[in-house]
């Protein structure tokens, strides 16, 4: 059990599940969690691979004139292929709401997320070894994988750090 969701993670996930376009500030207001904490927790969930992306739902009724409502939702991100699912007029609202409700039920405090080593791609048991740079976290099963990753990607890591430092100086 290398990584478990707590109540803060759960409330953030439930908030963005309602509308993935929300800003961190808006999520913060809804959940009562500070904006920096929301941002850090969101980025951590992305870094561990639990959040793969925030995907749009298209309403083609806005462009079609025949009156048939088709909502297209991207369901699956396996191997970067996006499978489209059509939800047709009549049942679209209830089906979408049921899907969201089902996801909300599954996201609970203590939910365990399996982490894969970012170097050897093996499972991470116990506490992962974490490499933090810029706003990125990478997770490893052992010190050897962490140092191997650091050596292999030293140039990229330094480049990202420099870009990140440049952006934070501009923000101030």
Task: Produce one character per residue of 51-79: b if its CB has 16 or more CB atoms within 10 Å, e if not.
Answer: beeeeeeeeeeeeeeeeebebebeeeeee
Q: Estimate to the nearest angstrom the gap between the alpha carbon of 35 and the chain centroid.
A: 16
Q: What is the pTM of this model?
A: 0.59
Asked if the model's pLDDT at residue 72 lies above 60, the reply is no
Asked if the model's pLDDT at residue 77 lies above 60, the reply is no
Greater model confidence, 61 or 159: 159
Q: Where in the chain is the domain with CATH 2.30.170?
A: 115-172
State the pLDDT confidence band at 62, using cuts at 50, 70 and 90: low
| Mean pLDDT lowest among 14-18, 53-57, 71-75 | 71-75
**Residues 115-172, CATH architecture:** Roll (2.30)
In the chain, where do the E strands start and end? 57-59, 70-76, 83-88, 129-133, 136-140
Q: Which of 57, 32, 52 is nearest to 42 (CA)?
A: 52
């Amino acid at each position: 059990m290398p990584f478990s969701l707590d109540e803060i993670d759960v409330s953030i996930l439930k908030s963005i599940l309602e509308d993935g376009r929300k800003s961190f500030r808006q999520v913060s207001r809804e959940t009562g969690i500070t904006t920096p904490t929301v941002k850090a927790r969101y980025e951590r969930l992305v870094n561990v691979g639990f959040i793969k992306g925030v995907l749009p739902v298209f309403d083609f009724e806005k462009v079609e004139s025949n009156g048939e409502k088709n909502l297209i939702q991207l369901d699956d991100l396996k191997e970067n292929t996006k499978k489209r699912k059509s939800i047709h007029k009549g049942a679209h609202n209830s089906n979408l709401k049921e899907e969201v409700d089902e996801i909300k039920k599954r996201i609970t405090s203590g939910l365990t997320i399996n982490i894969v080593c970012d170097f050897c791609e093996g499972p991470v048991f116990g506490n992962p070894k974490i490499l933090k740079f810029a706003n990125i976290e990478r997770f490893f099963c052992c010190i050897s994988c962490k140092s191997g990753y650091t050596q292999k990607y030293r140039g990229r890591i330094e480049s990202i750090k420099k870009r990140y430092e440049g952006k934070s100086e501009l923000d101030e």
